[in-house]
């Protein structure tokens, strides 16, 4: 029996939406208040969805303790309480939540051995969330 499991994680990070390829006016008109030179922060809610067959003995798709430790080590410790603009991950890309969502998926996909990684969903605010299930690169 194939099933899906979605696990939620919380982290906080700051960013400034600003592209070096655009003028100051283009940045202001594109990103509005999110282009504030001092940046701004979010309390992100990350959802990681995996799928697989339910192990008949254990009754689970994957061990949640192992999954939680992996996400903590690979994602949360990397981004929690960080300024995304200062990280190598966003040296060439604008740290939009769309790009952050893609980065997180790609980080998880590289060493994921627990089940099939279906997608990640990243909620930036009550009104904005983004999903990514693979298939393209971070855009600049």
From 4, 40, 53, 81, active-site residue: 81
Residue 137 has pLDDT above 90, yes or no: no
Q: What is the pLDDT of residues 8-52, one digit of tens each?
A: 999 999 999 999 999 999 999 999 999 999 999 999 999 999 999
Q: What is the pLDDT of residues 47-69, one digit of tens each?
A: 999 999 999 999 999 999 999 99
Query: Residue 77's closest CA among 87, 91, 85?
Result: 87
From 62, 124, 137, 140, active-site residue: 124
From 34, 47, 74, 131, active-site residue: 34
State whether residue 73 is helix, strand or coil. Answer: helix
Our answer to whether residue 81 is catalytic in this structure is yes
Q: Report the Cα 53 to chain-centroid distance in Å.
A: 25
Domain ranges of the chain: 2-132
Our answer to whether residue 62 is catalytic in this structure is no
Record: fold of 2-132 = Tetrahydropterin Synthase; Chain A (3.30.479)
Our answer to whether residue 124 is catalytic in this structure is yes
């Amino acid at each position: 029996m194939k099933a899906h499991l979605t696990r939620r994680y919380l982290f906080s990070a700051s960013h400034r939406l600003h592209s070096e390829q655009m003028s100051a006016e283009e940045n202001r008109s594109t990103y509005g208040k999110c282009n504030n030179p001092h940046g701004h922060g979010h309390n992100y809610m990350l959802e990681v969805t995996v799928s697989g067959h339910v192990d008949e003995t254990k009754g689970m798709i994957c061990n949640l303790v192992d999954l939680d430790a992996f996400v903590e080590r690979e994602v949360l410790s990397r981004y929690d309480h960080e300024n995304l603009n200062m990280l190598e991950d966003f040296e060439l890309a604008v740290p939009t939540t769309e790009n952050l969502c893609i980065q997180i998926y790609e980080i998880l996909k590289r060493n994921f051995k627990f089940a099939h990684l279906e997608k990640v969903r990243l909620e930036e605010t009550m009104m904005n969330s983004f999903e990514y299930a693979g298939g393209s690169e971070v855009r600049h």
